[in-house]
Structure 1
Amino acid sequence: MTQVFKFGGASIRDAAAIRHLGELLDELPQRPQVVVMSAMGKTTNALEALLAAARQGEKATYRERLAAIRRDHLDTVDALFGAQADPVTARVEALIDELDRRHQAHVDQTRPFHYDQTVGFGELLATTIVAAWLEACGLPTAWQDARELIITDACHQAANVDWEATAERVRALAIGDDRLVLTQGFIGGTREGVATTLGREGSDFSAAILAHCLGAKGVTIWKDVPGLFNADPRRFDNAVRLAHLSYAETVELAWHGAKVIHPKTLGPLQQKTIPLRVRSFEALDAPGSMIDADTRHDDETAAFILRETQTLLTVHPRDFAFMDETRQHDVLGQLVEAGLHANLIDSGAMRLSLCLDGDSERLESLAESLGADYEVIRRDDLTLLTVRHPDDDLLAALSDGREVLAERRNADTAQRLFHSDKCPRTWHIPE
């Protein structure tokens, strides 16, 4: 049965990484039939900066940034292919020229449309180079344009999948054991052939879409870490790898801000109970983490999530009245209208507290709007700690010496909000 692999930008960030990728695929006892790939390294960021320069009319900056993108990719081609680089160089040059033409053609269109016609070229460039390298390594590879494979509506920058049309295109792929199909993550296209993008974490979602349509045996996402952890190892000095999570538990962690797997990715896999494995491309012998329908291990290890640069808005009725359902409906309606998500909601008889990501124009607009009808107390520079499967002793130890500004708890999850200056840079999970 079909296996789908997804490789992110770190795994193909330069020529050395691409060589390593070829070696990895060659060493595996069973090669995948479909490989989904992101743009190289920080290319998407560079393309977004290019887009900004184009839309702001900064012609000199635009040309400099386009030249840098061209140079970075051609340098990679030269490092990989040397004297045999000409055919690949020509394909890369053609894609860069097409990118430039699209910027000129769509600069006066809406930003989401312009974005989708240009930023996905990072994936097209990366897969063009990698496909040629895998062929040179003796790994038969068929390059596939995802804009003709994953069919969506025209909701630019957050396109919705046309599952029927996509399944029809995917079933037409020539999948076999003798070669792998290499395609792009993040991008799709309408039935009319207009490029779209799938939103943040779109490349993982692309792999899940293809796996769903193919009825794949499994999906593997390759990262530069040996699996998923119960906390960010950069912030918690004793974080541990999670060997197994259910789909539901992974969605809970992602909802609360953990950098694990986006819920959009899990939906298509859960529908067909396709397991998802997270493995390290730097350590093939590392066991990684498994996500599937089995819930037996979900509460074995507490998980910890930090959200920093938080703002707490505490809203009070001006007439000393209750914060009843009508007023809560009004406040939360304004939150939705502002396009914001509350990371924590804490309520009392005469207050409703909302913890939000800080430093945004939308937050300022919401605070001003609420202030017209309510008394609003605002606190900035806060840190939100979310703990899955906590106990009282654990929460007490984590909160020791810190004032709790707001909190929420149910049977499985506890959230507490603290002043950031009272929080350590590196946390230690109490034993």
Structure 2
Amino acid sequence: MTQVFKFGGASVQDAAAIRRVGELLARFRARPLIVVVSAMGKTTNALEALLAAAREGEAADYQERLETLRREHLTTVEALFGDRAGPVKKRVESLLTELDQRHRRHARRERPFHYDQTVCFGELLSTTIISAWLDEIGMATEWQDARDLVVTDDCYQAANVDWQATAERVRAMASDNDRIHITQGFIGGTVEGTSTTLGREGSDFSAAILAHCLDAEEVTIWKDVPGIFNADPRRVDNAVQLEQISYDEAVELAWHGAKVIHPKTLGPLQQKSIPLTVRSFEDLEAPPSTIGQDTRFDTQTPSLILREAQTLLEIRTRDFTFMDEARQHDILGRLVEAGLHAGLIDAGAMRLSLSLDGHPERLEPLVASLCEDYAVERCDDLTLLNVRHADDALLAALSAGRDSLAERRNADTAQRLFPGSQCRGTWHIPR
């Protein structure tokens, strides 16, 4: 059965990390093995800055950023291959030359198109280096261009997958069962061969696409943490690992703001009951977290999700009429047009309460639009507390000493909105 591994930027950020990936893969002898790799470290951010410099005509800044990219990647190649680095350096230089040419060719095109034609080079560079390194240490690999595998439309920066065409190409790719197939996350291509990107969490999604098309046994995402936790360990001093949760529970956690697997990654896996495992590349013996069909463990451990920098809008009709379905449809439609997500929605007879992420460039036009037709009260710098599977005692303990400005609760999730000043520092989940 096919296995699909995905390595993010932190796991391939430099020569030492790439050596560790090689050592890790040497422990897994089953074939076929599909390995999906992100750009090294913060390369995507660097490419976005390079893109901005190209579009703004900042020649000196552009050249400096391009040279930094070249130096960082070639330094990694030299650290890995030493005096045998020549052929790999040549391939890296060729990719960087092509990147430079694309910037010059597309700088006046619409930004989403330009973005996809250039940012894809982060993954092309990382997989070129990693594939060469695995060959160097005795692992037979086949480098695959994801732009030839994942067929998409031309909705740049958020391309939609043509599942039938993709499945045909992916199955043909995996027909060679004796090699490790190295390919890129985050990117795809149109039938005409134009580069596209898959949007938020695109690398994880790439792994799910390949697994779905191949009816894989499992997808493993390798991270610098041992798995999925019931709270952010940086904010909650007694966060614990969730070793097993269902697809539905993972989607719920993601919806409420937890940094788990994006729902679009889970969809293709859930359709074929393919489990997704999160494991630590730093500690291979650490127990992983698995997302699958089994729901038995979902309610055993409460999960706490904090959403910071929230804005509460209390929206009322001006003529004291009901906040009926038509008015809610109008308001939520404006929210969609603004590209904002409401972490909390609560309706009363004459009001609609929304807790929104504080993106000023999107929020301010929305508020201005709503104020033209409704009475709007606003409160900023709030923290939204989401608790999955909380009992009354736990919710009371977490709310103690804090002033609830809005709240909502159903059978599985409790939400309370507090002043941000009352939520700073470290939290603790009473047991």
Q: 1:359 to 1:173 in 2, by over 3 A?
A: closer
Unaligned runs of 5+ in 1: none
Match of residue 288 from structure 2? 288
Whether 2:107 is the aligned partner of 1:107: answer yes
Q: Secondary structure at the match of 2:26?
A: helix
Q: TM-score, normalised by structure 2?
A: 0.98
Please list the CA deviations of residues 65-86 of structure 1 after superposition, one character each: whole Å capped at 9, or x if unmatched. 1111111000000111111100
Please name the residue that 1:375 is paired with: 375
8 Å contact kept, 2:212–2:268: yes
Alignment of 1:258-277 (within 5 A): 258-277=258-277
Residue 333 in 1 paired to residue 336 in 2? Answer: no
Identity %: 71
| Cα distance in 2 between the residues matched to 1:105 and 1:234 | 44
Tell me which residue corresponds to 1:342.
342
CA positional deviation for 1:174: 4.1
Q: Which amino acid aligns with 1:178?
A: D
Q: Deviations over 1:277-317 (max 9, x none)?
A: 11000000011111111111111111111111111111111
Shift of 1:176: 4.4
Normalising to structure 1: TM-score of the pair?
Answer: 0.98
Q: Distance in 2 between the 1:416 and 1:177 partners? A: 52
**Correspondence 1:409-428 to 2 at 5 A:** 409-428=409-428
Deviation of the 1:163 alpha carbon: 0.4
Match of 1:372, SS? helix
Change (3 A) 1:181 1:29: closer
Which residue number in structure 1 is paired with residue 134 of structure 2? 134
Conserved? CA contact 1:33–1:175, under 8 Å: no
Distance 1:376 1:326 in 2: 17
Q: CA deviation at 1:331?
A: 1.4
Deviation of 1:177 (Å): 4.6
Structure 1 CA distance for aligned equivalents of residues 152 and 66 of structure 2: 28
**Distance in 1 between the 2:92 and 2:245 partners?**
40
Q: AA paired with 2:295?
A: T
- CA contact 2:32–2:174 (8 Å) conserved in 1: no
Aligned partners of 2:312, 2:175: CA distance in 1, in Å?
Answer: 52
Provide the residue aligned with 1:395 in structure 2: 395
Give structure 2 stretches of 5+ with no counterpart: none
- Whether the aligned pair in 2 keeps the contact of 1:388 and 1:412 (CA below 8 Å) is yes
How many angstroms apart in 2 are the aligned matches of 1:371 and 1:355? 16
Q: Which residue of 2 aligns with 1:239?
A: 239
Deviation at 1:31, TM superposition (A): 6.0
Asked if 2 retains the 8 angstrom alpha-carbon contact of 1:157 and 1:198, the reply is yes
Range with bigger deviation, 136-145 or 23-32: 23-32
1:192 aligns with 2:163: no
Moved runs in structure 1, 4+ residues, more than 6 A? none
Give the Cα separation in 2 of the matches to 1:236 and 1:165. 45
Letter in 2 for 1:252: E
Distance 2:215 2:281 in 1: 25
- Match status 1:71 vs 2:71: yes
The corresponding residue for 1:408 is 408
Q: 2: CA distance between counterparts of 1:394 and 1:200?
A: 33
Alpha-carbon separation, structure 2, partners of 1:170 and 1:355: 42
Task: Give the C-alpha shift of residue 336 in structure 1.
Answer: 1.7
Superposed displacement of residue 54, structure 1: 1.1
Name the amino acid aligned to 2:406.
Answer: A
> Do the aligned residues in 1 keep the contact of 2:384 with 2:415 (CA within 8 Å)?
yes
Residues in 1 aligned to 2:240 and 2:313: alpha-carbon distance in whole angstroms: 34
Preserved CA contact (<8 Å) 1:33 1:176: no
1:55 alignment partner, SS class = helix
1:120-141: CA deviations, max 9, x gaps? 1000000000000000010111
Cα distance, 1:373 vs structure 2 = 1.1
C-alpha separation in 2, matches of 1:109 and 1:127: 27
Contact 1:256 1:343 in 2 (8 A): yes
Tell me, in whole angstroms, the C-alpha distance in 2 between the residues paired with 1:430 and 1:79.
Answer: 48
| Alignment-derived partner of residue 51 in structure 1 | 51
Amino acid at match of 2:387: V
CA distance in 1, matches of 2:278, 2:333: 38
Task: Give yes or no for contact 1:347–1:353 (8 Å, CA) kept in 2.
Answer: yes
Amino acid aligned to 1:331: I
Q: Deviations over 1:378-429 (max 9, x none)?
A: 1111111111111111111111111111111110011111111001311100
Residue 337 of structure 1 deviates from its aligned partner by: 2.1
Match for residue 160 of structure 1? Answer: 160
Residue in 2 that maps onto 1:303:
303
Deviations 1:208-255, CA, capped at 9 Å, x for gaps: 000110111111000000011001111100000001011111111111
- Structure 1 residues 330, 230: closer, same or farther in 2, change over 3 A? same
